Amino acid sequence: MALKTRFTIDYYQEGILQNNRVVLAQAITLIESTLPADQTLAGELLDRVLNQTGKSIRIGITGVPGAGKSTFIESLGNQVAEADKKLAILTIDPSSQLTRGSILGDKTRMETLSKNSNVFIRPTASGNTLGGVGSRTREAILLCEAAGYSIIIIETVGVGQSEVAIKKMVDFFLLLMLAGAGDELQGIKKGIMEMADAVVITKADGDNIKQATQAQADYSHALHLFAAGESGWQPKVLTSSALTGKGIMEIWQMIEGYVHQTKTSGFFDQNRVRQNISWFHEHFDQLLRTEIMEHNQMQKKIQALTTEIQHGNISSYTAAQQLLNEYHQVNRGSNS
């Protein structure tokens, strides 16, 4: 989408460094723009504030439907904000292309947090199918860091593809689960649980405490089936209640413990550098793929070849070669 108003780079830079939240929001909108001129400006802005970035703790939070994600984030957020830390919450909603329309919704959801001057809440563009889920969320994190936010929570709505993308941009990945969804712990999306640095069983209050404790034991067992990741961190399972406040402090302390452990071991920084390099390659691939897929002649060729493959008339191998030939022709054509 294009911007209604484009400001000068100094305007963005100064506003962000002064933690002007209106300007921060405008800068994130700039980052999300797909207009080449906006992208150039956005890139320049990012480089200007780059030495102010990287100092936050980046936390990814996702959960099964009904786990009470907003309520949990509100509790955790208040815990963080009480410690006089500045907290930014970026929400990714891959189910909606109209994320900006849900700003009000999000603010209503996290009522106390949205009124806290230490807290910045913002849904980020989920990206189109070409750019990948939350493709601009990574840059939004950098801008929030430049504005002085020391804790960044990336929240995903809906369990699915987006978690893989988020895992690659955060330091700590937290999965919220509900107890008692059946005799067995059915319905965990394959692959999600294995990415988690911690699983939190929410709504562990009242009649639900016993079930939650049982679920905690079951998940602990399941997580122990897997080898510790490269981080050397053994994933933890905790319970919490947003109603009683139980567990929230422990969860925050666990995250701080993780950061301390991985900073000491060097994994924290290594992981960041690796994420940056992989992000560089991914973004290049995205830019190139977008360019290719948005090209009318290429679109037509892809569609035609896909049909041929579906009918079994051509191998995927030859189809790919033909598409590359087409691309070479397109490049030649544009320069002749």
Residues forming the site for its own copies (CB under 8 A): 39-40, 42-44, 46-47, 50-51, 54, 138-139, 142, 184-191, 193-195, 218, 222, 224-227, 229, 273, 276-277, 279-289, 291, 305-306, 309-310, 312-321, 323-324, 327, 331-332, 335-336
Least Å distance, CB 124 to its own copies, is 14
Q: 């230490």: which residue's tokens?
A: 118
**Min CB(229)–its own copies separation in Å:** 7
Residues contacting 152, CB < 8 A, separation 6+: 56, 57, 58, 59, 87, 88, 89, 90, 141, 144, 145
CB of 159 vs its own copies, minimal distance in Å:
10
CB of 270 to its own copies, least distance (A): 11
Q: Cα separation of 296 and 299, whole Å? A: 5
Measured from the CB atom, the residue of 285 and 294 that comes closer to its own copies is 285
Burial class (CB in 10 A: 0-12, 13-18, 19+), 332: exposed
Pairing mode, strands 119-124 and 57-63: unpaired
Write down the least CB distance from residue 188 to its own copies, Å: 6
Q: 4 vs 190, which CB is nearer to its own copies?
A: 190
Residue 162 near residue 94, CB atoms below 8 Å: yes
Least distance from C-beta 156 to its own copies, angstroms?
18
Total count of residues recorded for the chain: 336
**Closer residue to its own copies in complex, CB, 84/184:** 184
User: In this complex, which beta carbon is closest to its own copies, that of residue 112 or of residue 328?
Assistant: 328
DSSP-based three-state secondary structure for 198: strand
102 touches 96 (CB < 8 A): yes
Report the alpha-carbon distance of residue 228 to residue 234 in Å, rounded: 5
The minimum distance between CB 115 and its own copies, in angstroms, equals 32
Closer residue to its own copies, CB minimum distance, 299 or 318? 318
Query: Closer to its own copies at the Cβ: 108 or 272?
Result: 272
Q: In terms of CB distance, is 75 or 162 closer to its own copies?
A: 162
89 phi/psi in degrees, rounded to 5: -120, 115
Q: Smallest distance, Å, CB 248 to its own copies?
A: 26
For residues 73 and 305, which CB has a smaller minimum distance to its own copies in the complex? 305
Helices 267-293 and 296-310, packing angle to 10 deg: 90
Q: Tokens representing 141?
A: 């994190």
Give, to the nearest 10 degrees, the angle between helix 137-146 and helix 36-49. 40
Closest alpha carbon to 60 in 98, 24, 90, 102: 90
